[in-house]
Chains A and B, each alone.
Chain A
Amino acid sequence: MRVRWVRTAAWVVVVASVGLSVVLASRFGADPNLVQSPLLGQQAPMLELPALDGSGLVTVPTGDGTIVVVNFFASWCLECRLEHDDLVAISDGFSETVRMAQVAYQDDPAAANQFLDDLGRSEHTVYLDDPGGRASIAFGVFGVPETYFIDGNGVVVGKIQGESNALLLGQTIDAIRRGEDPGQQVVGDVQSGPEG
């Protein structure tokens, strides 16, 4: 037996989903002048950095079939603060299929840890320090927040520049899982340093 369930609600779901995207998207600005990241389509740089909690050196494996998300953040970055809950939710939601790392960019480890103490951590994310800016240079980070997506083959296939959100992060991961290259998405401004 089959019956079409609540047809009237179907269009509402579509409108609502679009509406939510619009509402979320409307929170962002966009800078079309920013150039495409040269890292897209390239093998991801090796990510071996000290843990922010001082527990030692951490290597984030790539190219082992698991999607890796690398977010650069800083305690002095307002947009990073605004997107943090979304990153935690995505890390928790995709914990079985995605590996997430958040790297403190041009930040004092104590301040970065305080930022995480205030806003919360995902138990599925590794939080890393970046002394000397090695990782941020290797990834070509211009400012924060920036989020890179590495496919299961270790290739950088996506980048979100600016304040992200759960819907956008999730859509990007979903696209990668379908074998697509989401490319670069500029959704807002980034801050290159504590002074903006």
Chain B
Amino acid sequence: MTKPGDQARQARLDLEELDQQVAEGEIDPASGEKLRSTYLRELEQAGNMDVEAPVATRSRMRLAIGAAVLLAGVAVTIAVLGGNVEDNPSGLLQGVAAGDNFNPGDYSDETLEAVVATYANDPVVADQLVFMRFALADRYFERNEFQRAFVHYEAILVADPPAELFSATMTRIAWITFVGNGEVELSLEVIDRAIEAAPGSTEALYVKGQILWCGANDSEAAVILFDQILGSSELDPATRGQVESDRSLAAVGVPCA
């Protein structure tokens, strides 16, 4: 029979290893969260909850604080930007709301706005609501209505979303920051937070590659990222073709169109 002390030690060890495994991509973030809950429960059962916050929790807190600081800068950018951005220079933006599995025609903007407004503070639906808010924000994002989108992306971050959603949200904010006001450095800081939260996110890596190539004129660094994306086995053919095309242009020093 395992002693409580041993169980607690093991659970702590597991928590520490889990962070590393998630960071290295051995375990996906969603599975990581489940395992984390299990280990924390084991730790609690061992009667030893008087421990430091798990590394991952601190990490998420750090991410959130970092995000808040960055967002202050982004908010200024958006305010300066004023209206909508008419041009989407990369044509990149094909949001989740327009994805194969979600029919935005089922819900109007007004309906989603009303739902998120009504249930914004309801803990019963909070976990689901952030995803609905994300879908709504993505619609505005798709239409280059960045100010309206930003309000919702900001609210999502405040709600302490799962790592993948955090990353996806930060990826879009990075894009808004880059496209909206040409804030290359700030957008790189934001996209790095997105990649930190979800290291395997090809979307985040692609956006960073775009910013480096198109904003920082750093084709070499962009090519490294494009290669990293192309190493993923999950790319659909269209995306793979796009990234390969970008990579081949960047590799020979062709400026971003």
Name A's B-contacting residues (CB within 8 A).
Answer: 1-17, 19-20, 23-24, 85-86, 89-90, 92-94, 97, 165-167, 169-171, 173-174, 177-178
Contact sample, A vs B, 25 pairs, CB 8 Å cutoff: A3-B242, A3-B243, A4-B236, A5-B99, A6-B164, A7-B236, A12-B164, A16-B130, A19-B128, A20-B119, A20-B132, A23-B125, A23-B128, A89-B113, A89-B114, A93-B114, A166-B115, A166-B118, A166-B119, A167-B111, A167-B115, A169-B111, A170-B112, A173-B108, A174-B108
Which residues of chain B are within 8 angstroms of A166 by Cβ–Cβ distance?
Answer: 111, 114-115, 117-119
B4 within 8 A of A: no
Which residues of chain B are within 8 angstroms of A7 by Cβ–Cβ distance?
Answer: 99, 234, 236
B92 within 8 A of A: yes
Which of A13, A23, A24, A89 is close to B135, meaning CB atoms less than 8 Å apart? A13
Known A-B contacts A6-B168, A93-B110, A166-B111; A24 and B125 likewise in contact (beta carbons under 8 Å): yes
Is the beta-carbon distance between B165 and A12 smaller than 8 angstroms?
yes
Q: How far is the CA of A182 from the CA of B192 in the complex (A)?
A: 47
Which residues of chain B are within 8 angstroms of A89 by Cβ–Cβ distance?
Answer: 113-115, 117-118
Is the beta-carbon distance between B128 and A171 smaller than 8 angstroms?
no
Q: How far is the CA of A5 from the CA of B171 in the complex (A)?
A: 10
B94 within 8 A of A: yes
Q: How far is the CA of A94 from the CA of B92 in the complex (A)?
A: 31
Which of B114, B164, B203, B234 is close to A5, meaning CB atoms less than 8 Å apart? B203
Is the beta-carbon distance between B114 and A10 smaller than 8 angstroms?
no
Is the beta-carbon distance between A23 and B124 smaller than 8 angstroms?
yes
Interface readout for B83-98 with A: 1 if CB under 8 Å, 0 if not? 0000000111111110
Q: How far is the CA of A170 from the CA of B134 in the complex (A)?
A: 18
Minimum C-beta distance from B141 to chain A (A) = 9
Is the beta-carbon distance between B135 and A17 smaller than 8 angstroms?
yes
Q: How large is the interface on B (under 10, 10 to 19, 20 to 34, 35 or more residues)?
A: 35 or more
- Cβ-closest chain A residue relative to B204: A6
Is the beta-carbon distance between B107 and A13 smaller than 8 angstroms?
no
Which residues of chain B are within 8 angstroms of A4 by Cβ–Cβ distance?
Answer: 94, 99, 236, 238-239
Minimum C-beta distance from B113 to chain A (A) = 5
Is the beta-carbon distance between A3 and B92 smaller than 8 angstroms?
yes
Which residues of chain A are within 8 angstroms of B96 by Cβ–Cβ distance?
Answer: 5-6, 9-10, 13
Which residues of chain A are within 8 angstroms of B134 by Cβ–Cβ distance?
Answer: 9, 13
B246 within 8 A of A: yes
- Cβ-closest chain A residue relative to B28: A8
Is the beta-carbon distance between A3 and B113 smaller than 8 angstroms?
no
Is the beta-carbon distance between A1 and B246 smaller than 8 angstroms?
yes
Which residues of chain A are within 8 angstroms of B131 by Cβ–Cβ distance?
Answer: 9, 12-13, 15-17
Which residues of chain B are within 8 angstroms of A5 by Cβ–Cβ distance?
Answer: 93-96, 99, 138, 168, 203
B52 within 8 A of A: no
Q: Which 6 A-B pairs have the closest CB atoms?
A: A170-B111, A16-B131, A10-B99, A93-B114, A89-B114, A20-B128
Minimum C-beta distance from B102 to chain A (A) = 5
Is the beta-carbon distance between B238 and A6 smaller than 8 angstroms?
no
Minimum C-beta distance from A178 to chain B (A) = 8
